[in-house]
Every structure is written in C-alpha cells, then in structure tokens.
Amino acid sequence: MNGRRRVVITGLGIISPIGNDVATAWNNALAGRSGVTRITRFDASGFNAQIAGEVKDFDVTKYMTAKEARRMDTFIHYGIAAAIEAIKDSGIEITDANRERIGCVIGSGIGGLPMIEDNHAEFTTRGPRRISAFLIPGSIINMISGNLSIMFGLKGPNLAMVSACTTGTHCIGESARMIEYGDADVMIAGGSEATISPLAETWT
C-alpha cells in the first residue's frame, strides 16, 4: 500500500432524467426505462434533434430558497441537490472539529450555458443594463463546489475539474487520490450538467 489510505464511498446522490433520488434512478435503470423524451424546455420544432434527457419533477426549493435559486444556472441546482443527498446518505456530521478535512471536487463539462444564452438574448434585445449581476457567479463551473462549501462550511480542498463527458468520473478519481494521500478525510465528488437549450441543440 506504500502508506496510502484506502478509500470508500459512503453516500450517494443523484438528479437525473430517470430519477431524482438514488432508489428511483437505480430501479428505472434496472428496468431499462429511458429518460429520453421530446424536448419541453423550449420549442425544438425547428431543430433536427428534438429529443433529450430532461430532468423531470425537480423542486429546487427542497434544497435552497427560490431567491437563491434565481441567482444560479440549473446545472448548479442539480449539482448541489445531488451533493446534499449524498451528504445525507453518508450520515456524516460536519462540525468545527472536522470541516477543515472535508472538501469537494464537483465539475461540469460546459457549465451555465442556458444562463449565458438567456443573458445574451437580454443584452441584444434590451441592452447591457439588463445583464444579471449574477451572470458570472451563476454560470461558472466551480460554483457547485463553491456554493456547497458555503452552505456546509467546508474548509477542505475545493475545486472543479473539466474533462468533457468524463468530468464526473475525473472528479471522483481526483477526490479519491486526495483522500488516499492524506490531503483530506472526506470529499464530496461528482459532476453536473444542464445544457438543454437552443444553442446547445445546434450542435447535435
């Protein structure tokens, strides 16, 4: 082992097109149920691709206030919600005695594309004064980890990684290495994406 510590997974959380909790998503996956349906978030009738995996029946106010939610892109909502579920599932109690040894690495492939797109539309139609003051903190990739650390008072390693479709796995692997080498005792790790928008659909 060369002095390296073993790493175990103690809690799980998920927000996905096939379920907004681990039990539902797992059962739907085992049953072969698809979360891909016709796009409902915008009128996709003019696009070649008109289907996508949309998260359904998600209530962000279970995890934060409506006021807080308005300042963040949807990918941050999903990431924070899944992380909160994982923390609850783990049973860990975050205290002053351990918070400096608990961190998070949560990334995203693109980040807040819909929020950027919406603000650009406001800019072009109504001028620069209509740009949200929360555009940057509401759309950049590291704000899942950032907001989560603020919510729980985490003071361990905090960063976001980007490696396209492997981002979530990459974040989990890097978090495991941090624990293995003693940089932290607990890491909340994963990835989040929410890029169903007109601009994103032009790539499909």
Taking only the tens place, the pLDDT of each residue in 71-90 is 999 999 999 999 999 999 99
Task: Give the least confident one: 27-31, 173-177, 197-201.
Answer: 197-201
Residue-wise pLDDT for 39-71, tens only, equals 999 999 999 889 999 999 999 999 999 999 999
* Confidence (pTM): 0.94
Yes or no: is domain 22-201 CATH 3.40.47.10? yes
pLDDT at 8 over 50: yes
Residue-wise pLDDT for 115-127, tens only, equals 999 999 999 999 9
Cβ pair 78, 160 in contact under 8 A: no
pLDDT band at 200 (very low <50, low <70, confident <90, very high): confident
